[in-house]
Chain A
Amino acid sequence: DTAVSQTPKYLVTQMGNDKSIKCEQNLGHDTMYWYKQDSKKFLKIMFSYNNKELIINETVPNRFSPKSPDKAHLNLHINSLELGDSAVYFCASSSPRDANNEQFFGPGTRLTVL
């Protein structure tokens, strides 16, 4: 039943490590997004993929690399983790057939870098 799911829900790791967060949606959407919510709860878009093609790439360090193996999945790989990467990462998806442009969000992944 879950529309947009993310794994893991919590991720605790050391500085310098490489980690991945996975996102899957079963809504049949073509577009997927990654947002970052920092410690002050500010939400900002990082990336967006449409039909596996990168369409939005905000000013994100190149240590962050999104990968979309198919339309239903958008994973986020982070190299050389830094303390400032600690945040909650939200995946979202939307459909081109939805003129309302509504984005559906996953439950979030809380990343803590020690």
Chain B
Amino acid sequence: AQSVTQLGSHVSVSEGALVLLRCNYSSSVPPYLFWYVQYPNQGLQLLLKYTSAATLVKGINGFEAEFKKSETSFHLTKPSAHMSDAAEYFCAVITNAGGTSYGKLTFGQGTILTVHP
């Protein structure tokens, strides 16, 4: 069964500093990987996704993530944090690769990002 582990339930950075949110996955087949962001009292918004194309994936709001098969990782980064980046971030995996049209997203436990001035 697939699983996702996000290292660090809370990450705090200064405005302008590098953001690094860690995600490791476990999957028996090539995975589809996603990062979602949840702002307070809001729904989930897709930041970016890896679908077996380029290993470096660029998303919205200046975020990017790199798929490293050897490390089973999909860490999320942003070169310079902004106050508006403060939110909770979820890494997720689907392993219904093989042409099926549906599958359950398995989420990590989430990482709360705090950005201070």
Q: Which residues in A have some Cβ–Cβ distance to B below 8 Å? A: 30-31, 33, 35, 40-45, 48, 50, 55-56, 58, 90, 92, 94-108
Contacts and interface: CB of A to CB of B under 8 A. Distances in A.
B46 A90 contact: no
Contacts of A102: 34, 46, 49
B48 to A, nearest CB: 11
A48 B44 contact: no
B88 A101 contact: no
B102 A31 contact: yes
Interface of B: 32, 34, 36, 38, 42-46, 49, 51, 88, 90, 92, 94, 96, 101-107, 109-110
Contact of A99 (B44, B45, B51, B88): B51
B32 A100 contact: yes
A91 to B, nearest CB: 9
Nearest to B53: A100
A69 B111 CA distance: 36
Contacts of A106: 43
A80 to B, nearest CB: 26
A96 B38 CA distance: 25
B86 to A, nearest CB: 15
A50 B102 CA distance: 8
5 contacts: A31-B102, A45-B104, A96-B101, A101-B32, A103-B105
Contacts of B46: 102, 104
Nearest to B36: A105
A104 B46 CA distance: 8
A85 to B, nearest CB: 19
B90 A43 contact: yes
